[in-house]
Structure 1
Amino acid sequence: MFEIDALRLLVTVAGTGSFTGAATRLNYTQSAVSRRIASLEQQAGGPLFERLPRGVRLNPAGHALHRHAVDVLERLARAEQELAVIHAGQGGPLRVGAFATANISLVPTALRAFKQARPEVEVIATEGRSGTLTQRLADGALDLAVVSDYPSGLPSADGVTTAFLLEDELLVALRREHPLAGAGTIDLWELRDEAWLQDAPAGGPTLLLDACARAGFRPKKLIRIAEWTGKFGYAAAGLGVALVPSLAAWAVPAELVLCRLGDLAPRRTVHIALPAAPLPAARGLRDLLRDTVADGWSRVHEDRPDRT
């Protein structure tokens, strides 16, 4: 295996045409250059230079190694430049993960501001459950993730830190013709006879069941629908009602109305997860997510025209 310094010396000697010239350029002694070239030739299996009365020149073997040395050194120079840009937070990839409803409005709003501020950074977005995203952060496959404590508490992993971002209130989605659709805020008890749409597997803890228990009843019927589009379709058809995170308010179709559930409204918390040594670009996106919540996204979200 050839050392980088030895390859750099080979290129310098070839460029100057002498050991003396290379020594001057690299601030070596001539004897040090001679020893290192001799060591390199030993590694290469034979001479690399023709020794001339004045100076040296590459022989065929030297030309072959010189070609590869130039390529290696150019690649390393490009790598150094790319790493400098990444460490400055002004380029390279940024791998971002979020759970589904965070990707409806919150994360895209922050990413739009991020791309305006750092257009040279390539954002690679992915979606998944919070536990999976946290593990991918720990494995080095993500640079930042937006995660929540639903349904089983805030996930954790070695080397991953989390910071609170917001509290996400769950609303109830009713079709517009529902008798309670115009109430604005309703008592969860008033929905005790409804069929409920949810995606959690049977037998597991859910915010819905916990909230219903606090309200003094257990849902008479649960319809398990995995995707939000399916839940909205069933609710719009009058086949059930569904809890909808406020994060998802902008995705609710016009056939549905969102109502608050008062003091018994279930809530979850949303957090920003980062590795122990986050990239500057990841720290920048973290700050923009906080700004989005504090300054812009919450007002836009609360002003949704058909939210009651």
Structure 2
Amino acid sequence: MFEIDALRLLVTVADTGSFTKAAVRLDYTQSAVSRRIASLEKEAGGPLFERFARGVRLNPAGHALHRHAVEVLDRLSGAEHELTVIHSGHGGTLRVGAFSTANISLMPVTLRAFVQSRPDVDVIAVEGRSGVLMQRLAEGALDLAVVSDYPSGLPSADGVGTEVLMEDELFVVLPRDHRLAGAGAIDLRELREEAWLQDSPTDRPTMLAEVCARAGFQPRKMVRIAEWTGKFGYVAAGLGVALVPSLAAWAVPDELALCRLGDLAPRRTVHVALPAAPLPAALKLRELLHETVG
């Protein structure tokens, strides 16, 4: 295995055509250059230079090794540069994840500001449930994630830290012609006879079920609809009502009414999660997330 310093010396001697000039450029003694080239030729299995009274030049074996040496040194230089910009937070790739409603407005707005401030960072964004995102952080597959404690509490993962980003109030969305659509704050108990749209299986604990239980009733009917567009369509058709987090409020169509739920309004906490040794670019994104919600 050839040492990097030996390959760098080979290239320098070839460029200068002289052991003496290479020694001056690299701040070596001429004898040190001669010894190291002799050692490199021994490793290579034979001479690499033709020696003349006024200098040296590469022989065919030397040309072959020189070509590879240049490629190796170029790659190392590129790696050094890439690591420098990554550690400065002004380059490389930043892999970020968020749960679905955070991707409606919070993440797009924040990432727009991030891209403007760090145009040389390549951002890769993915969507997933909070537990999956935390696990991907622990595995090193993500550099930052926005997660929540809904519906089953804040997930944890080894080597991943979290901090509170915001409190996210949940509203209820109704058809415009619903009898309560014009009300200010709705008492949840007034919706006890409604069909509720949700994306979680009914055999898992949900915030809706817990809030309804505190209000003293169980939802009459649950309709499982995963996507927000589907939920909004069902609500518009009068087939049910749905909880909508404030993060998704701006996406509610005009033909629907978004109403508060008064004292029984459910809330969830949104967190930003980072590995133990976060990238500078991830720390910048965290800063911008706080500015977005602040």
Q: Taking structure 1 as the reference length, what is the TM-score of the superposition?
A: 0.92
Equivalence for 1:27: 27
Query: 2:224 maps to what in 1?
Result: 224
Give 4+ residue runs of structure 1 displaced > 3 Å after superposition: none
* 1:245-302 deviations in Å (ceiling 9; x for gaps): 11110111112111111111111100111111111111111111101111xxxxxxxx
Aligned-pair identity (%): 79
- SS of residue in 1 equivalent to 2:28: coil
SS of residue matched to 2:162: strand
Aligned-residue offset at 1:31: 2.5
Q: Distance between the aligned counterparts of 1:250 and 1:44, measured in 2?
A: 68
Q: Which amino acid aligns with 2:282?
A: A
SS at match of 2:96: strand
Residue 238 (structure 2) pairs with residue 238 (structure 1): yes
Residue 82 of structure 1, CA deviation: 2.0
Superposed displacement of residue 61, structure 1: 0.6
Normalised TM-score (structure 2)? 0.97
5+ residue gaps, structure 2, are none
For residues 61-80 of structure 1, what are the structure 2 equivalents within 5 Å?
61-80=61-80
Structure 1 letter corresponding to 2:215: A
Instruction: Report matched runs for 1:176-255 at 5 Å.
Output: 176-255=176-255
**CA displacement at 1:92 relative to structure 2:** 1.9
State whether residues 202 and 222 of structure 2, in contact with CA within 8 Å, keep that contact through their aligned partners in structure 1: no
Map 1:73-88 to 2 at 5 A: 73-88=73-88
Q: Does 1:125 align with 2:139?
A: no
Range that drifts further, 206-215 or 111-120:
111-120
Partner secondary structure for residue 217 of structure 2: coil
User: What's the RMSD between the two structures over aligned residues?
Assistant: 1.2
**Mean Cα deviation higher: 172-181 or 79-88:** 79-88
Structure 1 alignment gaps of length 5 or more: 295-308
8 Å CA contact 2:2, 2:40 repeated in 1? yes
Does structure 1 retain, via aligned residues, the 8 Å contact 2:95–2:144? yes
Name the structure 1 match of 2:36.
Answer: 36
Amino acid in structure 2 at the alignment position of 1:114 = F
Q: What is the correspondence of 1:1-308 to structure 2 with a 5 Å cutoff? A: 1-294=1-294
Aligned residues: 294
Q: 2: distance between equivalents of 1:167 and 1:110?
A: 17
Letter in 2 for 1:9: L
Residue 11 of structure 2 aligns to a residue whose secondary structure is helix
Q: CA deviation at 1:143?
A: 1.2
TM-superposed deviation, 1:53: 2.3
